[in-house]
Amino acid sequence: MKVTTTYSSIIKPCEPTPNTKIPLAEWDQIGYISHIPTIHIYKPSPNFPQNTQIENLKDSLSKILVPFYPLAGRLHWTTRGRLEIGCDATGVEFIVSETGSRLEELGEFSTCQEIHKLSPNIDYKNTPFEEIPLMFVQITIFQCGSITVCPALSHAVIDGRGASYFLNEWAKVARGEQLDVEPLHDRTVMKAGEPPSSNPTPLDFNPLLPPPLLIGETNDKEERKKETIVAMLKLTKNQVEILKNRANEEKIDGKSRPFSRYETITGHVWKCASKARGHKPEQETGLGISVDIRRRMKPQIADNYFGKATIDVVAEGCSGELVSRTLSYACSRVREAIDKVTNEHINMTIDFWKNQEDLKMFQDLEALKGEEEGPFYGNPNLGVTSWLTLAFHGLDFGWGNEVYMGPITHDFDGDFILFPDHDEDGGLILRACLQTPHMEVFKKVFYEDI
């Protein structure tokens, strides 16, 4: 499929916005300072010609950037090696492309590699960091009249909940509706820009511990080189209930609180991945989990907060135990990691990063440019990201819901995303990426005994 850019423009807020600087929380600046794209595919609309659709998207984007003005700014360094958003209404990049292909030629959207061509190509290598927009949008017009809308938003500025919040408000404005409430931009609720607390961080508290390596290896270079493949695995509502019942058959450490859907499926994925990868029984394995802290902080963070409010934690286990013991055990390891994220843990994390003199050494800017290798959570490790409560699906700009919505860039070994199956109430979909030789075994054990 050949995709050609017809034009690119900068969309700015249609009204004056505050000219100010907003600090980022320290942990928002760790790791990849990249953009996360999602894709939304729409069939032709008889009442909305393509030109009308594009003009509506541009017009509504300029309107929604007024209340969500930080997205129209740029990231800047402070003298302390921190990042802040310069809210200067510089704008976001809006790209229109076209292809001579028809939508049906993409086949299975979820695993089609061609879908990457529908996402903005962000030049991290040759563009000065301070000049890169915090948001890109690529619209692609197909020969059949279908269009794709692919927004890519800076993951340094907002998390998944913040992104879905913005996109739904944008769609609301595009439909001619009013916002129910203005977004909250006060980053001090996350103690951004404030000095560290006077309470010393415990010496044994260290969020920088590297994930385990395969037994006998001294680095992950060979694992990085191996070919991966993506698969979409569906679980019906009945299958989810079967797994939840199994997970809750045994009470680990005397705890009676039922395991959640996320804990259940993630524990199941961890067991299956350990088995599919053929680990030695003594192989240590880590499971990366992103925890939403909006309800875990004291005081709690308001629902209209527009920013990042997640902390990454790692569940630890031994492959032999994960494979041989019950699902309840694997779920308990997942829960143990999540339950560590208390208000006290959050504040310790804040203080840990605030006490680092220069955060640039923890930011994988060179990895974005392709000059160094970034973080890797592949074999023997994995990560399971939950989109179960994120409203990415059903983005209606005025011509109906999309026929497909999904991620684009989550295609490295050990990366799993869990989201609702909108074709079946209560069903779930697991987007799995593993090394090619491991995938068929994983799919087999994933569905065994359900």
Question: Are residues 118 and 228 part of one domain?
Answer: no
Question: Are residues 90 and 231 part of one domain?
Answer: no
Q: In this predicted model, what pLDDT tens digit does every residue of 86-142 receive, in sequence order? A: 999 999 999 999 999 998 888 777 677 788 899 999 998 889 889 999 999 999 999
Question: Are residues 330 and 252 part of one domain?
Answer: yes
Query: Would you call 104 exposed, middle or buried from its count of C-beta atoms within 10 A (0-12, 13-18, 19+)?
Result: exposed
Answer yes or no: is 215 within a domain.
no
The last residue of a domain, from among 145, 172, 190: 190
Q: 371: pLDDT confidence band, cut at 50, 70 and 90? A: very low
Question: Are residues 427 and 374 part of one domain?
Answer: yes
Q: 209: pLDDT confidence band, cut at 50, 70 and 90? A: confident
Ordered DSSP codes for 88-151 = ----EEEEEEEESS-GGGG-SGGG-GGGGGGS----TTTS-GGGS-SEEEEEEE-TTS-EEEEE
The pLDDT value recorded for residue 255 is: 61
Question: Are residues 116 and 259 part of one domain?
Answer: no
Answer yes or no: is 196 within a domain.
no
Question: Are residues 244 and 295 part of one domain?
Answer: yes
Answer yes or no: is 207 within a domain.
no
Question: Are residues 385 and 240 part of one domain?
Answer: yes
Structure tokens at 219: 């680095």
Asked whether the predicted pLDDT for residue 280 surpasses 70, the reply is yes
Question: Are residues 287 and 173 part of one domain?
Answer: no
Q: In this predicted model, what pLDDT tens digit does every residue of 147-170 receive, in sequence order? A: 999 999 999 899 999 999 999 999
The mean pLDDT of the chain is 91
The last residue of a domain, from among 148, 173, 190: 190
The pLDDT value recorded for residue 253 is: 63
Dist CA 268 CA 262 (whole Å): 10
Answer yes or no: is 359 within a domain.
yes
Mean pLDDT is highest, among 37-46, 61-70, 360-369, 385-394, for 61-70
Domain range for 147 is 3-190
Answer yes or no: is 197 within a domain.
no
The pLDDT value recorded for residue 364 is: 59
* Contact by Cβ (8 Å): 68, 181: no
The pLDDT value recorded for residue 367 is: 47
Q: 366: pLDDT confidence band, cut at 50, 70 and 90? A: very low
Question: Are residues 434 and 307 part of one domain?
Answer: yes
Provide CB contacts within 8 A for 5, sequence distance 6+.
95, 96, 97
Question: Are residues 261 and 170 part of one domain?
Answer: no
Answer yes or no: is 149 within a domain.
yes
Question: Are residues 364 and 269 part of one domain?
Answer: yes
Catalytic residues: 155, 396
Structure tokens at 90: 């510089």
Q: What percent of the chain has pLDDT over 90?
A: 70
Average pLDDT score over residue span 19-42: 88
The pLDDT value recorded for residue 372 is: 45
Dist CA 341 CA 207 (whole Å): 12
Question: Are residues 381 and 269 part of one domain?
Answer: yes
Q: What percent of the chain has pLDDT over 70?
A: 95
Domain total of the chain: 2
Which helix (H) or strand (E) element contains residue 275?
helix 261-276
- 114-130: burial string, b at 16+ Cβ within 10 Å, e else: ebebbbbebebeeeebe
Report the CATH number that the domain containing residue 258 is assigned in CATH: 3.30.559.10
Answer yes or no: is 210 within a domain.
no
**Of the listed ranges 132-141, 180-189, 199-208, the one predicted with least confidence:** 199-208
Asked whether the predicted pLDDT for residue 188 surpasses 70, the reply is yes
Answer yes or no: is 297 within a domain.
yes
* Contact by Cβ (8 Å): 70, 87: yes
Dist CA 188 CA 190 (whole Å): 5
